[in-house]
């Protein structure tokens, strides 16, 4: 099936007389007829539901749908995008390990990797995604266990060269995790370009309606944990499951099964059935919405590019953009609805522009159906020093504009009047 069809029909297939819409299974627990049947579940011999901290039929439906859309062997939903990033890394790293990450990433991920993981004894090195292969390779240490990047970076809107990083990761026997939030599975499938694990904040375009926080981890099934020789916990007996060995018991799904039955069991940040239902509503219309976001954003980008008060603009499909060749390769169907730009006059002018907008709302959010705007240097990236801001590619006046689905003329009128005020 093609993506539009998968969005409507995968994950849940009602039989005769069953509900056409995905039901919300509002139940914490599941009933069994004998002690042995439940015991088999605890030994992971049976693949059914036990407790809604670990799995739930409504959530399972969207896990199957997202795995199908990304071309993975399985998926695990989480209570937020942050929880997806955390579990995707903690599933394979431990105290003493090291991460190599692209320098331009979401502010929350930046904090997780460089502040909280540091307290757990996990170290991180950042590298510009424009760096040469030699420069990137030089960041890799014997204890480096993963590489990390974002398909379209939040908030700088640059395009990550997935193949370049995947090649280096694989030459060093480590996996590449790609945060595909802004591109969504509709505009890019990182697994096709060599990513081993894909994560999303479903809070953004996938939900799309600013209603539910959520995340998901998708396993490509392609990384060979045994052959790599670096991921003992994947290949040695797990005492908490009577000595089960994930790679032996679950083959190519070892990573995603371990993430669920071990880390989700212990950390407990699973998605709820109610929220999964709302996320599914978002998924059903995602291909249609992504097309419209890309169309509207292209028009806004063209408008801003030619405006005398705009100093610079990042939107990957513009001819003037340094990432245009990467966008042609990785984002052939469009570069989503998020644009970043600077108005002439730096921070002060940027703030004045934002305060002058009328239709567009100031929100700590992107990828909504409504147009929203944010000033990263005073909000999401407020805690970074001037030097860290520069390294992350965020100038003091940078504006992140998330183009919504309003009529394009109304969006452009709002931008026009706000720029007149600068
Ligand atoms: C928002 C976001 C996250 C974090 O997701 P939450 O659902 O807010 O926890 C991670 N990565 C990217 C690229 C994001 O935009």
Check residue 115 and give its pLDDT: 95
Q: Which two tokens stand for residue 193?
A: 């370009």
Helices (runs of H) and strands (runs of E) counted in the chain: 20, 12
Extended beta strands in 68-165, E state: 74-78, 98-102, 123-127, 144-150
Residue minimizing CA distance to atom 2 of ligand 1: 201
193, 388, 380, 106: CA torsion to nearest 10: 10
d(CA 368, CA 406): 11
Q: Does residue 376's CB lie within 6 angstroms of at least one atom of ligand 1?
A: no
Q: Which two tokens stand for residue 164?
A: 């370049």
Check residue 384 and give its pLDDT: 79
Check residue 91 and give its pLDDT: 98
d(CA 101, CA 372): 28
Check residue 346 and give its pLDDT: 87
pLDDT of the chain along its 422 residues, tens only? 999 999 999 999 999 999 999 999 999 999 999 999 888 888 888 888 999 999 999 999 999 999 999 999 999 999 999 999 999 999 999 999 999 999 989 989 999 999 999 999 999 999 999 999 999 999 999 999 999 999 999 888 999 999 999 999 999 999 999 999 999 999 999 999 999 999 999 999 999 999 999 999 999 999 999 999 999 999 999 999 889 999 999 999 999 999 999 999 999 999 999 999 999 999 999 999 999 999 999 999 999 999 999 999 999 999 999 999 999 999 999 999 999 999 999 889 999 999 999 999 999 889 999 999 998 888 878 887 888 888 777 888 899 999 999 999 999 999 999 999 99
Check residue 150 and give its pLDDT: 98
- Tell me the best of 78, 151, 203, 337 to mutate to test the pocket of ligand 1, counting ligand atoms within 8 Å of each CB and taking the most: 203
Check residue 377 and give its pLDDT: 83
Check residue 371 and give its pLDDT: 97
Check residue 389 and give its pLDDT: 81
Check residue 26 and give its pLDDT: 98
Check residue 395 and give its pLDDT: 87
Residue 370 three-state SS: coil
DSSP string, 197-254: EEEEETTTTTT-SS----EEEEE-S---HHHH---HHHHS-BGGGTTB-HHHHHGGGH
- For ligand 1, the distance from its centroid to the CA atom of residue 384, given in whole angstroms, is 18
Q: Is the pTM of this model over 0.75?
A: yes
Kindly report each contact of residues 46-53 with a partner whose C-beta sits within 8 Å and lies 24 or more positions away, as own/partner: 52/27, 52/28, 52/270, 52/272, 52/273, 53/264, 53/265, 53/268, 53/270
Nearest-atom index, ligand 1, CA of 83: 9
- For ligand 1, the distance from its centroid to the CA atom of residue 108, given in whole angstroms, is 7
- For ligand 1, the distance from its centroid to the CA atom of residue 82, given in whole angstroms, is 6
Check residue 40 and give its pLDDT: 87
- For ligand 1, the distance from its centroid to the CA atom of residue 237, given in whole angstroms, is 33
Q: Does residue 179's CB lie within 6 angstroms of at least one atom of ligand 1?
A: yes
- For ligand 1, the distance from its centroid to the CA atom of residue 417, given in whole angstroms, is 31
Q: Does residue 297's CB lie within 6 angstroms of at least one atom of ligand 1?
A: no
- Distance spanning both ends of the chain, measured CA to CA: 49
Is the CA virtual torsion 145, 150, 156, 158 positive or negative? Answer: positive
Residue minimizing CA distance to atom 7 of ligand 1: 81
- For ligand 1, the distance from its centroid to the CA atom of residue 81, given in whole angstroms, is 5
- For ligand 1, the distance from its centroid to the CA atom of residue 110, given in whole angstroms, is 11
Check residue 43 and give its pLDDT: 84
Check residue 391 and give its pLDDT: 77
């Amino acid at each position: 099936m093609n993506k539009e069809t998968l969005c409507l029909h995968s994950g849940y297939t009602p039989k005769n007389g069953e509900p056409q819409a995905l039901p919300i299974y509002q139940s914490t627990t599941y009933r069994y007829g004998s002690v042995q049947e439940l015991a088999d579940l605890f030994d992971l011999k049976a693949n059914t539901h036990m407790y809604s901290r670990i799995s739930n039929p409504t959530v399972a439906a969207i896990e199957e749908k997202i795995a199908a859309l990304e071309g993975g062997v399985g998926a695990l939903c989480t209570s937020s995008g942050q929880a997806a990033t955390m579990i995707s890394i903690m599933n394979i790293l431990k105290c003493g390990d090291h991460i190599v990450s692209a320098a331009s990433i979401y502010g929350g991920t930046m904090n997780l990797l460089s502040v909280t993981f540091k307290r757990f004894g996990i170290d991180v090195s950042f590298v510009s995604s424009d760096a040469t292969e030699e420069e990137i390779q030089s960041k890799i240490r014997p204890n480096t266990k993963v590489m990390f990047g974002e398909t379209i970076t939040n908030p700088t809107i640059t395009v990550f060269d997935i193949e370049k990083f995947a090649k280096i990761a694989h030459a060093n026997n480590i996996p590449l995790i790609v945060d595909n939030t802004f591109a969504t599975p509709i505009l890019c499938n990182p697994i096709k370009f060599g990513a081993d694990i894909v994560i999303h904040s479903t809070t953004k375009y996938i939900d799309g309606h600013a209603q539910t926080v959520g995340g998901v981890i998708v396993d490509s099934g392609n990384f060979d944990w045994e052959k790599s020789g670096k991921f003992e916990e994947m290949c040695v007996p797990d005492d908490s499951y009577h000595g089960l060995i994930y790679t032996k018991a679950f083959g190519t799904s070892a990573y995603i099964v371990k993430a669920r039955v071990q880390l989700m069991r212990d950390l407990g940040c699973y998605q709820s059935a109610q929220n999964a239902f709302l996320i599914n509503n978002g998924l059903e219309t995602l291909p249609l919405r992504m097309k419209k976001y890309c169309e509207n954003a292209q028009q806004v980008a063209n408008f801003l590019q030619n405006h005398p008060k705009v100093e610079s603009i990042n939107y990957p499909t513009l001819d003037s953009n340094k990432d245009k060749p990467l966008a042609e390769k990785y984002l052939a169907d469009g570069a989503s609805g998020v644009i970043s730009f600077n108005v002439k006059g730096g921070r002060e002018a940027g703030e004045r522009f934002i305060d002058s907008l009328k239709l567009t709302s100031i929100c700590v959010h992107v990828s909504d159906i409504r147009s929203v705007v944010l000033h990263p240097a005073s909000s999401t990236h407020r805690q970074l020093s001037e030097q860290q801001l520069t390294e992350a590619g965020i100038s003091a006046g940078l504006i992140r504009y998330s183009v919504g689905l309003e009529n394009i003329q109304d969006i452009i009128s709002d931008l026009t009047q706000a720029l007149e005020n600068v």
